[in-house]
Amino acid sequence: MDDLAPDDLLRTLAPQVVGVLTRRYGDFGAAEDAVQEALIAALDQWPRDGVPANPRGWLVQVASRRLVEQIRGDAARRAREERVLADRSATPPGTVSGDDTLVLLFLCCHPSLTTPSAIALTLRSVGGLTTAEIARAFLVPEATMAQRISRAKARIAASRLPFRLPEPAEREARLAAVLHVLYLIFNEGYTAGGVELQRRDLAREAIRLARLVTRLLPADGEAAGLLALMLLTDARRDARADAHGLPVPLAEQDRTRWDRASIDEGIALLTRTLPRNAPGPYQVQAAIAAVHDEAASAEATDWPQILALYDVLERMADNPVVTLNRAVATAMTHGPSAGLSLLATLDDRLPNNHRLAAARAHLHEMSGDTSAAIREYRRAADLTPSVPERLYLTARAAHLTP
Amino acid sequence: MKYMMLMQYSAAGTDFPDIASWSADEVRAHVAFMRDYNAKLVADGELVDAQGLASPATARIVRAGADGAPVVTDGPFPETKEWLAGYWIVDVETEGRALELAAAASAAPGPQGRPLNMPIEVRPIGSEPEV
């Protein structure tokens, strides 16, 4: 672990140190604040002075001192506290299991928090990112993000959640919330189109956290499935946008630019997991991504298999976006008119949705109905919130203009 | 001194043809220009923020109802010929510099690479009175 670069080392140690302090003092909010200050001190000192011999002990000691300063005003008492702390922080590294990190993840992704708050708190407490970094990644002012995080902590304090793993009966539902938060962090980093460096860092962080969960819960198929899905999707990052930042659709991507190592790792994970249990939605989505990634060209894609997987996925959860994707797979397998009639069932469920319009445009284009395709591309361009996507769809419509 | 530069888009196509009729290469050239332009603002330390706005079709007009709850209607109406396409907030030393920057953005390339000369409103951002 000590071979890691200071940034990565800090991110690995951060949740452990929050765990130690929360256990010791029973105040998650204060512990988290103190660790954040210790991290900032380390980011400043370590690259300059070198990583200390016992980095975790260093962080525990600095953060404890901050915490003690916060909760005790009395100087004499503080000195006594610090002497005690100095003794205790001599615990050798490695004695803390990953359990603290897992407890922290469950705490940060608690259902009593709103999703944006859970994401921010997870990135800070478990991810070890600074508030400024998280604010930059989500394109909001630092003060806004700081406020969001402190509200989330106040909420956790008010709900008096104990710092331990949830009861086994509740654990599965709570794990689903954890995985969902990681999935959203990844999407936030990925949907930016691979142009913004900050956002790409967010995808990388989501992968790092998903790896962590997979290591802590090696028997959980969905955790592995989520990691595989992220790896298999992230593998295409360099091919997803052109030099101007406009999106490049899957069928037109330069597949030699896909990251082979990520694909291999994702497929190996899936191969290990899929036969072991009844696969959940993340594993099925990862399997779909794997079929795309394994195809040598867009034409060589095994669409019948993708269609079968979307059938499975749709049976797990009634989600109109899944139906939309299934319609595209249907068109690729049975022709565009079969796909279009499936899309027709979605108008009520996805009103004014740019993805529905874009899918329809694409299928009209496939069937040779140029004027319908132009109409739907323009409609999709009008409806999308993404400016690069709007320009791409507009250019696509223009390309078809006779 | 901070200025907001508001980029108007003429939907009626009076100044230049609707962007939907540009070729893919013309759209790319336009995007490349804007990216370079923004990168230079960053390099010169003059950029505060810049965003392109989603299409007016996605806009909503909101008023407070009797009980204070939002009353929402669909935003800019079909007869609107011009809409706000995006904005920059720049922090520059003089108004002259803001006008210069706006002129440079206005010259972004359109069809056949010719400058669009699109209208850009330049307005000082209100600030607290100096004490």
Q: Look at residue A208 in the predicted model and tell me its pLDDT.
A: 93
Q: Which residues of A touch B53 (CB under 8 A)?
A: 387
In whole angstroms, how far apart are CA A106 and each of A99, A154, A185, A279? 11, 16, 16, 22
| Closest CB to A383 among B27, B32, B58 | B58
Residue the block writes with tokens 């007009």: B61
Say yes or no for a CB contact (<8 Å) between B20 and A388. Answer: no
Question: Count of CB atoms within 10 A of residue A254's CB?
Answer: 10
Q: Where does the pLDDT of residue A120 fall: very low under 50, low under 70, confident under 90, or very high at 90 and above? A: very high
For chain B, the domains span 2-124
For the ranges A241-250, A309-318, B7-16, B60-69, the maximum mean pLDDT occurs at: A309-318
- CA A287 from centre of chain: 18
Query: Can you name the residues that pair with B51 across neighbouring β-strands?
Result: B87
Looking at B75-89, B92-106, B114-128, which range is the least confident one?
B75-89
Say yes or no for a CB contact (<8 Å) between A395 and B23. Answer: yes
Q: Look at residue A70 in the predicted model and tell me its pLDDT.
A: 78
CA distance A227 to A300: 26
Interface residue of B19, B26, B36 to substitute, partner A, most A CBs within 10 Å: B19
Q: What is the mean pLDDT of residues A59-73?
A: 86
> Comparing A232 with B22, which gets the higher pLDDT?
A232
Per the prediction, chain A carries an average pLDDT of: 88
Q: Where does the pLDDT of residue A297 fall: very low under 50, low under 70, confident under 90, or very high at 90 and above? A: very high
pLDDT in tens, A259-290: 999 999 999 999 999 888 789 999 999 999 99
Chain B interface includes A142 (CB < 8 A): no
> Comparing B56 with B97, which gets the higher pLDDT?
B97
Classify the complex by whether its ipTM is higher than 0.85, answering yes or no: no
Q: Where does the pLDDT of residue A91 fall: very low under 50, low under 70, confident under 90, or very high at 90 and above? A: very low
* Apex B85 CA angle, B10 and A148, nearest 5: 165
Chain B interface includes A398 (CB < 8 A): yes
Q: Which residues of A touch B27 (CB under 8 A)?
A: 246, 391, 394-395, 398
pLDDT in tens, A156-214: 888 888 888 888 888 888 999 999 999 999 988 887 544 455 678 889 999 999 999 99
Q: Look at residue A73 in the predicted model and tell me its pLDDT.
A: 61
pLDDT in tens, A301-323: 999 999 999 999 999 988 999 99
Q: Look at residue A93 in the predicted model and tell me its pLDDT.
A: 41
Q: Where does the pLDDT of residue A336 fall: very low under 50, low under 70, confident under 90, or very high at 90 and above? A: very high
Say yes or no for a CB contact (<8 Å) between B22 and A378. Answer: no
Q: Which residues of B touch A387 (CB under 8 A)?
A: 52-54, 86
Q: Look at residue A162 in the predicted model and tell me its pLDDT.
A: 81
Q: Which residues of A touch B32 (CB under 8 A)?
A: 243-244
Q: Look at residue A316 in the predicted model and tell me its pLDDT.
A: 93
Closest residue on chain B to A196 (Cα): B35
Q: What is the mean pLDDT of residues A357-371?
A: 96
pLDDT higher than 70, residue A376: yes
Interface residue of A387, A393, A396 to substitute, partner B, most B CBs within 10 Å: A387
pLDDT in tens, A212-237: 999 989 989 999 999 999 999 999 99
Say yes or no for a CB contact (<8 Å) between B31 and A384. Answer: no
Looking at A36-45, A385-394, B40-49, which range is the least confident one?
A385-394
Closest residue on chain A to B54 (Cα): A385
Chain B interface includes A197 (CB < 8 A): no
For chains A and B, CB pairs below 8 A equal 56
**CATH label, B2-124, candidates 1.10.10.10, 3.30.70.1060, 3.40.630.10, 3.40.50.720:** 3.30.70.1060
Q: What is the mean pLDDT of residues A371-378?
A: 95
A367 CA: distance to closest CA in chain B (Å): 22
pLDDT in tens, B61-80: 888 888 888 888 876 666 66
Q: What is the mean pLDDT of residues A376-391?
A: 88
| Closest CB to B35 among A244, A395, A396 | A244
Looking at A68-72, A332-336, A380-384, which range is the least confident one?
A68-72
pLDDT higher than 70, residue A76: no
pLDDT higher than 50, residue A90: no
Collapse the DSSP code of B130 into the 3-class scheme (helix H, G, I; strand E, B; otherwise coil) and give the result: coil
